[in-house]
Structure formats: C-alpha cells, structure tokens
C-alpha cells in the first residue's frame, strides 16, 4: 500500500480510503462491520471515512477498540449547520468511534458558496474542538457538486481537506464538466488541500467487468491523495488494495524511467 501526506494537513494516509457509507446496510452487526475494517487494515488501508448520517461510526468504533488508535486516520462528517448541532455531532462521533480525537471532521455535502456561509456556526464548533484537541483537521465534502462551490471551498483558508466526486466520465457530477472539475482539483491540490475522491465507480452503477478500469483511473489521478471506495465485502477489499499497489508500482517504474 502507498502512504502519503494528506496535503498540508500533517496527516499521513493510505492511498486507498475505506468508504464506510454502506456498512449499515450490508453488515448485520457492528462486529461484522468491524471485521471488514480490520481486514482492510491487514491490506494496509489505514484511512477510514464515515459520517454521522451513515450510522456506521459504531462499526468503526468496534474496530478501533481492537487496535492501537494511532494505526488509523479517521475522517467523519456532520450535516449540522449551526454551532449547537455541530458540537453535538462531535460529541456523538467521539463516543461512537470510541476515541478521544477525530483526525478529520468535514462539513457534509456543501452544495454552494451560500451553503458554506450558512455553516459558519458549525465551523465555530469545529474551531473550538480543534483548539481543545478533539479534532485535528477541518474540511468539507462537496458531494456531487462542482463550479462555484469549488471556488468557495478552495479559497476558504480553514478548509484543509476536500472530499469530492471524480470518475473517468464525470458521471453524477453536477454544475460542470469533468475536465473543468479536474482543474479545480488541481488548484486545490496546489494550494496544499488534502484531496479525496469518491463516486469513482459511480456508486456501483457500472458493470463488474469495468470496475478495475474505473478504479485504476482513480489511482492514476495524481492530484487525488486518497481514493475513497465504498467496499462492502472481502472481495472488494482484495481487488481495490491490489489495484492501489499496482498503480503505485507503475508510477514508480515511470519515475525511474524518466
Ligand atoms: N457527500 C459525501 O460526503 C459522500 C457521499 C457519498 C459517499 N461518500 C463516501 O464515499 C464512499 C464511497 O461512496 P460512493 O458513493 O463513491 O460509492 P462508490 O465507491 O462509487 O461505489 C461503491 C459501490 O460499488 C459497488 N462495488 C462493486 N465493486 C466494487 C469494488 N471493487 N470496490 C468498491 N465498491 C465496489 C458496491 O456495491 P455492491 O455492494 O452493491 O456491489 C459498493 O457499494 C462512501 O462509502 C462514503 O464513505 C461521501
């Protein structure tokens, strides 16, 4: 597995990120979810993504309970816009994740510059939690949106991490083309933001045969620090970790040849 700096955040992450968005639907217990997380950790996946809204923080918490907390980087999210809501989300996340700090806390699915402004109260709660050592890094996800929202989040000095949609055909992306979106990602990367991409396999809406090609596209995008894949079984973990390793090897060979 390849490990790299998550932009200028000071965190080191695995290139493959475990997207725990669907564990609640696919695992019948927290224990079953934690087994998948631990299997991924065996494959070297140390970067785990969840959200209050997925209901999977407890699955991660069950896994975290069984390992050394420092082994993994945890990213979670809150939909809250105001101070009280975000403070409550942070308290809940710490409890469910069974930890005393969250590596990355995101504003979940910011859709426009106006939406970002409306979340100032939530950012206040993030700032306070960061000062208290409960959060290490602040960021946002932009869900499927591009265009002005990307300008707003890239220009915001306190947004250190951006989780955004990207795949080889720009499927699900709203508000602009994939080529223009990749320019935004490049700009954010150059500004030192940590970049994670999702919807790399269009939330599963491509054929099984095409999966490796779409996933490899994600790993070959050098402006993405992390490729967030919503793995739901052992087979996905083995395939995706193998593709992560193959892409890292390929780029190493190319660098040596250059
Ligand atoms: N706004 C936001 O911040 C936001 C929104 C959505 C997602 N996310 C995050 O991003 C993660 C990924 O979500 P996504 O919507 O982008 O989904 P995705 O990774 O594009 O698709 C995941 C789905 O693809 C199918 N699949 C088939 N082969 C796979 C393979 N080798 N590896 C992984 N998946 C495979 C699985 O469905 P089957 O089980 O049906 O085969 C799986 O549920 C989520 O888990 C979540 O952590 C964030």
145 is catalytic: no
pLDDT tens per residue across span 234-244:
999 999 999 99
Q: What does the alpha-carbon distance between residue 223 and residue 193 come to, in Å, rounded to a whole number? A: 10
Architecture per CATH, domain 3-203+210-257, reads as: Alpha-Beta Barrel (3.20)
- Asked if residue 10 has pLDDT above 90, the reply is yes
- Helices and strands: H and E segment counts in the chain: 10, 10
CA 126 to mean position of chain CA atoms: 17
Q: Specify the residue with its C-alpha closest to ligand 1, atom 43.
A: 230
**Atom of ligand 1 at shortest distance to CA of 198?**
16
pLDDT tens per residue across span 69-96:
999 999 999 999 999 999 999 999 999 9
pLDDT tens per residue across span 133-188:
999 999 999 999 999 999 999 999 999 999 999 999 999 999 999 999 999 999 99
Which residue's entry shows tokens 């950012």?
123
Give the mutation target among 105, 229, 239 for probing the ligand 1 site: most ligand atoms within 8 A of CB: 229
Marked catalytic residue, from 18, 54, 145, 189: 54
Pocket of ligand 1 (CB under 6 A): 19-22, 49, 77, 108-109, 141, 143, 163, 198-204, 211, 228-232, 236, 239-240
Do residues 142 and 150 make contact, with C-beta atoms less than 8 angstroms apart? yes
Instruction: Compute φ and ψ for 192, nearest 5 degrees.
Output: 90, 10
Q: Specify the residue with its C-alpha closest to ligand 1, atom 5.
A: 143
What's the gap in Å between 133 CA and the centre of ligand 1? 30
What's the gap in Å between 132 CA and the centre of ligand 1? 33
Is the pTM value of this prediction over 0.85?
yes
Across 38-44, average pLDDT? 97
What's the gap in Å between 192 CA and the centre of ligand 1? 26
Specify the pLDDT at position 258: 84
Return the exposure string of 203-219: e unless at least 16 CB atoms fall within 10 Å of the residue's CB, then b: beebeeeebeebbbbbb
Residue spans per domain, the chain = 3-203+210-257
**Atom of ligand 1 at shortest distance to CA of 231?**
33
Rg (CA), the chain: 17
CA 216 to mean position of chain CA atoms: 17
Q: Is the dihedral of CA 103, 227, 154, 51 positive or negative?
A: negative
**Atom of ligand 1 at shortest distance to CA of 51?**
47
Q: What does the alpha-carbon distance between residue 22 and residue 19 come to, in Å, rounded to a whole number? A: 8
**Atom of ligand 1 at shortest distance to CA of 236?**
31
Residue from 94, 103, 51 nearest 72 by CA: 103
Q: How confident is the model at residue 199 (pLDDT cuts 50, 70, 90)?
A: very high
């Amino acid at each position: 597995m390849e490990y790299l700096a998550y932009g200028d955040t000071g965190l080191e992450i695995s290139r493959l990120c475990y997207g725990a968005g669907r564990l609640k639907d696919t695992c019948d217990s927290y224990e079953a979810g934690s087994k998948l997380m631990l299997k991924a950790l065996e494959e070297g996946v140390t970067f785990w993504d969840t959200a209050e809204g997925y209901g999977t923080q407890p699955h991660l918490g069950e896994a975290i309970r069984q390992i050394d907390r420092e082994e993994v980087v945890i990213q979670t999210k809150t939909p809250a816009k105001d101070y009280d809501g975000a403070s409550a989300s942070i308290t809940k996340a710490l409890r469910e994740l069974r930890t005393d700090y969250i590596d990355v806390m995101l504003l979940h699915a910011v859709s426009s510059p106006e939406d970002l402004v409306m979340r100032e109260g939530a950012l206040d709660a993030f700032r306070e939690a960061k000062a208290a050592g409960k959060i290490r890094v602040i960021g946002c996800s932009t869900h499927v949106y591009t265009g002005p929202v990307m300008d707003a989040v890239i220009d915001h000095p306190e947004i250190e991490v951006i989780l955004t949609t990207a795949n080889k055909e720009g499927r699900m992306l709203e508000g602009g083309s994939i080529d223009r979106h990749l320019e935004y990602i490049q700009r954010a990367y150059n500004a030192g933001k940590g970049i994670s991409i999702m919807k790399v396999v269009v939330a599963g809406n491509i054929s099984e045969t095409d999966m490796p090609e779409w996933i490899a596209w994600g790993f070959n995008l050098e402006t993405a620090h992390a490729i967030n894949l919503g793995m739901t079984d052992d087979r996905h973990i083995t395939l995706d970790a193998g593709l992560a390793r193959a892409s890292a090897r390929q780029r190493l060979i190319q660098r040596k040849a250059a």
